[in-house]
């Protein structure tokens, strides 16, 4: 009897190990343990046996049944694992897909332009200085050769703050700086010459229209030593606009102009054409110039300014220049309305903004790809 059971066990075990997919294995299970299965059928014969035989055979059959059930389970998990391994080996995960575009932020044109200006002037050896937005009368006007009551102060109306009771003399009157030229004074007072700096910052005037907002950004430049002259000023600024607008032969002109803190003073224009309807920067192909666009103020630093910073004008000399950053961005990137810079409209930023990973550098000609 136990031999029969042993043979049956071997037979069924072979069937189980031979089943090499889950479907076949389940079929084996039904033929053995199902309602009409072989072991089930044997179980049913127990009822007809006498008590003694039923006991020994019943026990043996139960052991067999459990052993077979275990074997099936083991085979089943082996088959499932095999199936998963095959699936994993055949499925590939493409991790080379680029991230979704709409999740990307953009660099504001003002920040972008500041980066580009920094790159160009850093390449010429200028370092970056800083000064406060809240200035006083001395730094914003007097030290820059706008004495109290000077009519040139009228050109730069600004916002005044309550007087600083603890300050002395011309430091009492607090105001929002009208230009970054105040940083020239602060830098020259705090540092030893030679000076070769640029400075970026917010500036304020009480104006508001398509090309003026009460707050805007400026960049200042200052170079002071014993030999720097007007020729250096012209060369430096011509190189700068050529690098910034990426036009190697961009024509410039200097027109005499008045700023109290420079002598002589000038405005620099770049060649442009309005014939095509829009604005095109640069001269015509034959070298002729249709029109000029004013882009910055400049000049040789006035002796009175050098004196107010403790420098002897007989010994030191140099140039300064200042420009509006929005204006540079509008010209380079074709942005028509200054006011839109500050509306915080995400659609505007998506259109005029820049890819964060696209950093400017002079090696690639500060060429920027529009995002
Ligand atoms: N500060 C002047 C302005 O705001 C610009 C300027 C700077 C002119 C330096 C000459 C020299 O208009």
Q: Which residues contact 125 (CB under 8 A, 6 or more apart)?
A: 196
- Cβ atoms of 21 and 78 within 8 Å: the answer is no
Q: What is the pLDDT of residue 294?
A: 95
How confident is the model over 154-166, as a mean pLDDT? 89
Q: Is 221 in the pocket of ligand 1 (CB under 6 A)?
A: no
pLDDT, residue 100, reads: 64
pLDDT category at 139 given cuts 50, 70, 90 is very high
Tell me the per-residue pLDDT of 195-236, one tens digit each, with 9 for 90 and over. 999 999 999 998 888 778 999 999 999 999 999 999 999 999
Give Cβ neighbours of residue 39 (< 8 Å, ≥ 6 apart).
Answer: 8, 32, 33, 61, 64, 65, 68
pLDDT at residue 367 in the model: 44
> Do the beta carbons of residue 356 and residue 104 sit within 8 Å?
yes
Q: How does the average pLDDT of the chain come out, rounded?
A: 90
pLDDT of residue 69: 93
Rounded to 5°, angle at Cα 182 from 176 and 186: 120
Query: Which tens digits make up the pLDDT trace of 299-345?
Result: 999 999 999 999 999 999 999 999 999 999 999 998 988 889 999 89
* pTM listed for this prediction: 0.71
Residue owning tokens 């332009």: 113
pLDDT at site 226: 98
pLDDT value at residue 370: 45
Compute the average pLDDT of residues 81-110: 82
pLDDT band at residue 274 using 50, 70 and 90 as cut-offs? confident
* Least confident window among 248-257, 280-289, 313-322: 280-289
313: left (phi over 0), alpha (psi -120 to 50) or beta: alpha
Is 321's C-beta closer than 6 angstroms to any atom of ligand 1? yes
pLDDT attached to residue 355? 80
Name the β-bridge partners of 216: 203
Mean per-residue pLDDT for 3-7?
A: 85
Residue 178 or 156, more confident? 178
Q: For position 369, what pLDDT does the model report? A: 47
Neighbouring CB atoms inside 10 A of 346's CB total 11
Most confident of 98-102, 171-175, 321-325: 321-325
Which tokens belong to 283?
A: 């001269």
Q: Is the pLDDT of residue 365 over 60?
A: no
Distance 185 CA to ligand 1 centre (A): 13
Read off the pLDDT of each residue in 15-29 and give the average, rounded to a whole number: 93
Q: Does 17 have pLDDT greater than 70?
A: yes
Nearest CA to ligand 1 atom 2: 322
Q: 129, 181, 234, 256: which to mutate for ligand 1, most atoms within 8 A of CB?
A: 181
Tell how far the Cα of 284 is from the centroid of ligand 1, in angstroms.
29
* Angle CA 135–137–140, to nearest 5: 60
- Percent of the chain that is helix, strand, coil (3-state, to 5): 45, 20, 35
**Residue 260 near ligand 1, beta carbon < 6 Å:** no
In angstroms, rounded to a whole number, what is the distance separating the alpha carbons of residues 108 and 353? 5
Distance CA 141, CA 275 (A): 41
Query: 42 CB under 6 A from ligand 1?
Result: no
DSSP string over 123-139: HTT-EEE---SEEEHHH
Instruction: Please work out whether the CB of residue 259 comes within 6 Å of at least one atom of ligand 1.
Output: yes
DSSP for 195-251, written as a single string:
EEEEEEEEEE-S--BTTB-SEEEEEEEEEEESS--HHHHHHHHHHHHHHHTT-TT--
- Which atom of ligand 1 lies nearest, measured to the CA of 222? 9
DSSP string, 83-141: HHHHHHHH----TTPPPPGGG---B-HHHHHHHHHHHHHHHTT-EEE---SEEEHHHHT
Find the 153 Cα to ligand 1 centroid distance in Å: 13
- Report pLDDT for 360: 54
Most ligand 1 atoms within 8 A of CB, residue of 156, 202, 295, 322 to mutate: 322
User: What local confidence, expressed as pLDDT, does residue 96 receive?
Assistant: 82
pLDDT score at 289:
95
- Cβ of 196 less than 6 Å from ligand 1: no
């Amino acid at each position: 009897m136990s031999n029969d059971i042993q043979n049956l066990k071997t037979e069924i075990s072979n069937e189980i190990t031979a089943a090499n997919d889950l479907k076949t294995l389940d079929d084996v299970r039904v033929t053995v343990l199902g309602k009409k299965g072989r072991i089930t059928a044997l179980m049913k014969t127990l009822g007809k046996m006498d008590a003694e035989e039923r006991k020994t055979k019943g026990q043996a059959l139960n052991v067999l049944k459990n052993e077979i059930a275990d074997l099936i389970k083991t085979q089943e998990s082996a088959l499932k694992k095999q199936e998963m391994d095959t699936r994993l080996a055949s499925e590939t995960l493409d991790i080379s897909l680029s991230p979704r575009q709409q999740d990307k932020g953009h660099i504001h044109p003002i920040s972008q332009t500041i980066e580009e200006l920094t790159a160009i002037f850093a390449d010429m050896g200028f370092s970056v200085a800083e000064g406060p937005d809240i200035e006083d009368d001395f730094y914003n006007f007097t030290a820059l050769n706008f004495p109290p009551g000077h009519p040139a102060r009228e050109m730069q109306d600004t916002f005044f703050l309550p007087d600083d009771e603890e300050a002395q003399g011309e430091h009492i009157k607090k105001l929002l700086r009208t230009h970054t030229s105040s940083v020239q004074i602060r830098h020259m007072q705090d540092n030893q010459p030679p000076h070769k700096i640029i400075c970026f910052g917010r500036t304020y005037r009480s104006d508001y229209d398509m090309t003026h907002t009460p707050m805007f950004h400026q960049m200042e430049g200052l170079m002071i030593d014993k030999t720097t002259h007007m020729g250096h000023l012209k060369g430096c600024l011509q190189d700068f606009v050529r690098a910034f607008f990426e036009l190697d032969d961009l024509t410039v002109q200097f027109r005499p102009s008045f700023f109290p803190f420079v002598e002589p003073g000038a405005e620099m224009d770049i060649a442009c054409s309005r014939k095509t309807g829009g604005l095109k920067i640069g001269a015509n192909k034959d070298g002729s110039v249709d029109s000029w666009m004013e882009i910055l103020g400049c000049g040789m630093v006035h002796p009175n300014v050098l004196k107010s910073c403790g420098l002897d004008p007989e010994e030191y000399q140099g140039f300064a220049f200042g420009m509006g950053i929005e204006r540079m961005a509008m010209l380079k990137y074709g942005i028509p309305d200054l006011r839109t810079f500050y509306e915080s409209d995400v659609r505007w930023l998506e259109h005029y903004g820049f890819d964060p990973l696209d950093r400017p550098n002079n090696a690639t000609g500060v060429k920027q790809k529009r995002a």
